[in-house]
DNA sequence: CCGGGCACTTGTCAAATGACAAGAAATCAG
DNA sequence: CTGATTTCTTGTCATTTGACAAGTGCCCGG
């Protein structure tokens, strides 16, 4: 089993060199998820930091009325993780479920902490990941309150086309903060546009 | 100058003991902001991690159309910080400005990193802060896509009444993702409600 | 004390989106 | 293959919210 993608991921942030990355990678275990498998269930404590090499994972929660809401969509090259549950050792507010078969790499909380303790450069990497995720959320928040649904859809289409191709539109809609009907209309409208 | 509030803040997460907290606090410097002073300007690199002992700081950015959008409101007991700029040493996408006179405690990036390096328990504390902020953003994101403006307003009123009292409503509105007119209507409506 | 902005409210109308429901189309399990 | 389920589209109408504009009151600096 080769962890090439994982090593590349460590290198991508520029905070680790090749030897360090390769070494850290040995602490991760390969992990496979079949379509519809749960990586984490709401109410339980996450103990798997999961790097996705292929496939798509969906995070979802329930709103005040009990409706399912897709809060995150993770594809290859990302870490699918409920941060607060994993790091605070508290019950997760949301589920993590594979939408397709997934291949990736896992590490437990204890192992990760061991690495953080032993390897300052990996610590930096870990912090970078949190910071990056925070920035991502901020961007989504801003878009949600200032951009129209159509613009948000176009942005997602541009930044993550693979998601649009593989994720049922109702989940995408919920991720974008709209209903599936609205998304359907947005898609039909943006295709033809008015010619002359 | 007493840093009692700062020490309490360190203790609040339960990851540091009293001696550790008091000791770490000595690395922070008192900092005062006059009303309307900028703690950070968009485009510059943040080098101040600022714990607020009193006062209110507003974070704001500009949307695609150039409109100002309030992205964060920080009050006493919180850290007013543009995380990605501070930790990645990159230009900030948003401004941080004092809405009232502010009193608090500051530390630079280099100093903070020094503490992280030397003190594992403070490192834990720092991570906890990022994780907490992330959870907060997630909550806001969920509310923005599932709750009505009125509900979001009520939630803010309940969780941070001090903000409603001190922040001009147009900033609150923008923070809630609505216009100031809408907020005004929500406020007038929720007072009387329909009697019989 | 005065003038000029802000801050806030309110009115009117339009645009964006949701709710609900009915079908068509694709997908999946037996 | 075939029926059942899920997914996606579309129609109709209601609701939420925004855009724009006018008007009142208040605060701040000279």
- From the list B88, B137, B138, the residue facing A131 with the nearest CB is B88
Say which residues have a Cβ less than 8 Å from residue A169's Cβ, sequence separation at least 6.
Answer: A180, A183, A184, A187
Cβ contact A181 with chain C strand, < 7 A: yes
Instruction: Delimit the domains of chain A by residue range.
Output: 4-123
Contacts of A136 in chain B (CB under 8 A): none
CB A50 within 8 A of CB A83: no
For A133-157, write each residue's pLDDT tens digit: 999 999 999 999 999 999 999 999 9
Q: What is the DSSP string of B103-115?
A: EEEEE-HHHHHHH
For residue B1, the model assigns a pLDDT of 60
User: How far does A63 lie from chain B, in Å, by closest CA?
Assistant: 7
- Whether the predicted pLDDT of B191 surpasses 80: no
Mean pLDDT value of segment B8-26: 94
**Predicted pLDDT of residue A113:** 96
DSSP, res A24: H
CA distance B173 to B180: 5
Residue B196 has pLDDT above 90, yes or no: no
CB contact under 8 A, B71 and A138: yes
Query: 3-class SS at A141?
Result: helix
**Residue A139: CB atoms within 10 Å:** 14
Question: How would you class B49 by CB atoms within 10 Å of its CB: exposed for 0-12, middle for 13-18, buried for 19 or more?
Answer: buried
Q: What share of chain A is helix, strand, coil (3-state, %, to 5)?
A: 50, 20, 30
What is d(CA A79, CA A133) in angstroms, rounded to the nearest whole number? 10
Please compute the mean of the pLDDT values over residues B113-141 and round it to a whole number. Answer: 96
Compute the distance between CA of residue B31 and CA of residue B103 in angstroms, rounded to an integer: 6
Rg (CA), chain A: 18
Query: Which pLDDT score is estimated for A172?
Result: 97
Domain covering A4-123 in this structure, CATH number? 2.60.120.10
**pLDDT tens digits for B55-94?**
999 999 998 888 999 999 999 999 999 999 999 999 999 9
* Of the options 2.60.120.460, 3.40.50.1370, 2.60.120.10, 3.40.640.10, the CATH number for the domain spanning B4-121: 2.60.120.10
Find the chain B residues whose C-beta atoms sit closer than 8 A to any C-beta of A: 61, 63-65, 67, 69, 71, 83-84, 87-88, 117, 120, 123, 127-128, 130-135, 137-138, 140-142, 144-147, 151, 174, 177
Q: What separation in angstroms does the CA of B121 have from each of A3, A115, B28, B29? A: 32, 16, 17, 20
* pLDDT digits 0-9 by tens, B84-121: 999 999 999 999 999 999 999 999 999 999 999 999 99
């Amino acid at each position: 089993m080769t962890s090439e993608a994982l090593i590349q991921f460590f290198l991508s942030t520029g905070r680790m060199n090749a030897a360090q990355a390769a070494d850290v990678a040995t602490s991760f275990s390969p992990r496979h998820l079949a379509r519809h498998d749960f990586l984490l269930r709401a109410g339980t404590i996450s103990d798997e930091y999961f790097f996705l090499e292929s496939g798509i994972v969906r995070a979802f929660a329930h709103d005040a009325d009990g409706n399912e809401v897709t809060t995150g969509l993770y594809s290859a090259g990302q870490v699918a993780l409920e941060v607060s549950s994993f790091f605070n050792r508290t019950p997760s507010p949301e589920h993590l479920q594979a939408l397709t078969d997934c291949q990736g790499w896992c590490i437990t909380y204890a192992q990760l902490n061991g690495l953080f303790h032993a390897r300052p450069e990996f610590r930096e990497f870990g912090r970078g990941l949190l910071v990056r995720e925070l920035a991502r959320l901020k961007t989504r928040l801003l878009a949600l309150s200032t951009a129209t649904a159509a613009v948000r859809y176009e942005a997602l289409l541009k930044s993550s086309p693979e998601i649009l191709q593989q994720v049922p539109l109702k989940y995408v809609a919920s991720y974008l903060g709209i209903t599936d009907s609205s998304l359907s209309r947005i898609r039909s409208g943006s295709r033809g546009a008015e010619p002359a």
